[in-house]
Amino acid sequence: MSYMDKESDNRFEYLLDKAIAKTITYDEDKELLKQYFDTDNQEWNFAHYLQAAKQGYVEAYASLGSAYLLGKGCEQSDELALEFLMKSVENGGTWGHSELGDCHRLGKGVPVNYELAWKYYNLARESGEQTLDGFEIRELIRFDFSEFAMSSEKIPVEWWEFVATKEGNECHSFASQKDFPSLCMSMANLYQAGTPRWLHWIGIGAKGGNYCCMDHMLMITKDEAERKRYITAMFNIDCEEDFPSEKLARIIMNGDYPKELQDKAFKMMNDFDLWSDEEKQSALLWD
């Protein structure tokens, strides 16, 4: 071992002892991280995580767990990752909750358990460890999990707001740009009807072409031009999906709409036999 190696080892031991004793200064703490725990050499990092953990440095447990989880500087092992992450949490470590959430969400070392995943992600949020910029939150409340999340009301509304507003962002968004208008209705349902945030999400969803959102806007807007836009858009969706709305068809036929659209409404009434017996007698008079 060279002199510099010994010097480096001695420096690490000195900083580690101070960190364990909680007498380390801010600058020394930064040096410990940069020189021994956060370098580009993953094997170097792992060796120091392991040495620190053996000496009882709690913060190293989560680092070891994360390394094992990703196979960084060591052979990947879900079981060892879980063991060290749990050691970190059980011994008062300040981070590791988010990675434990990953384990339970993805079934790494344990069976998939969304309840426990939520528990650890929430602990990460409460401790400030999770800063709402990771895709873990998005994954936790994706569509296959949204029923639990919505019904249990366990996921804070601000988390929903965060992922929902990341429209089109592949890493963070809850829904793709195409599906985003549909998400707006779910977001609106988190709030009481008529409240500002409810109106906010209904409005965005309506502009994006979501049928339910447009239907709500149709009921509350007084602007006639805007009402006509919603009626036209909703009727065209009905036609595309072969799902007739007699109400919309009648509004169009009896209102100030382009003749092409009125003819389309008339055809829908015929195709789906929506006329009353009395109307069928006078239907031939339609021009």
Judge whether residue 144 has pLDDT over 50.
no
Per-residue model confidence (pLDDT) at position 137: 56
pLDDT tens-digit profile of 84-99?
999 999 998 878 888 8
Please enumerate in sequence order all residues whose Cβ is within 8 A of that of 196, keeping only pairs 6 or more positions apart, or say none. none
pLDDT tens-digit profile of 102-140?
898 788 999 988 778 778 877 877 776 655 444 555 555
What's the whole-model pTM score? 0.53
Per-residue model confidence (pLDDT) at position 8: 87
Span 7-19, average pLDDT: 90
Judge whether residue 167 has pLDDT over 90.
no
Please give the DSSP secondary-structure letter assigned to residue 5.
H
Q: Are 201 and 175 in contact (CB under 8 A)?
A: no
Please enumerate in sequence order all residues whose Cβ is within 8 A of that of 29, keeping only pairs 6 or more positions apart, or say none. 19
- The rounded distance, in Å, linking the Cα atoms of 202 and 27 is 50
**For 182-187, which contacts have Cβ atoms below 8 Å and span 24 or more sequence positions?**
182/210, 184/208, 184/210, 184/213, 185/210, 185/212, 185/213, 186/146, 186/150, 187/160, 187/161
Per-residue model confidence (pLDDT) at position 171: 43
Average pLDDT, rounded, for the chain: 81
Q: What angle do CA 275, 279, 264 make, to 5 degrees?
A: 55
Amino acid present at 276: S
Per-residue model confidence (pLDDT) at position 242: 84
With CA atoms as reference, report the closest residue to 245 among 269, 218, 209: 269
Q: Between 184 and 210, whose confidence is greater? A: 210
- The rounded distance, in Å, linking the Cα atoms of 27 and 10 is 17
What confidence category does residue 211 fall into, taking pLDDT thresholds of 50, 70 and 90? very high
Other C-beta atoms lying within 10 Å of the C-beta of residue 34 = 10
pLDDT tens-digit profile of 37-80?
989 999 999 999 999 999 999 989 999 999 999 999 999 999 99
What confidence category does residue 164 fall into, taking pLDDT thresholds of 50, 70 and 90? low
Span 154-165, average pLDDT: 63
Judge whether residue 4 has pLDDT over 70.
no
Please enumerate in sequence order all residues whose Cβ is within 8 A of that of 198, keeping only pairs 6 or more positions apart, or say none. 188, 191, 192
Please give the DSSP secondary-structure letter assigned to residue 156.
-
Judge whether residue 187 has pLDDT over 70.
yes
- The rounded distance, in Å, linking the Cα atoms of 43 and 87 is 21
Category of 12 on φ-ψ map: left (φ > 0), alpha (ψ -120 to 50) or beta: alpha
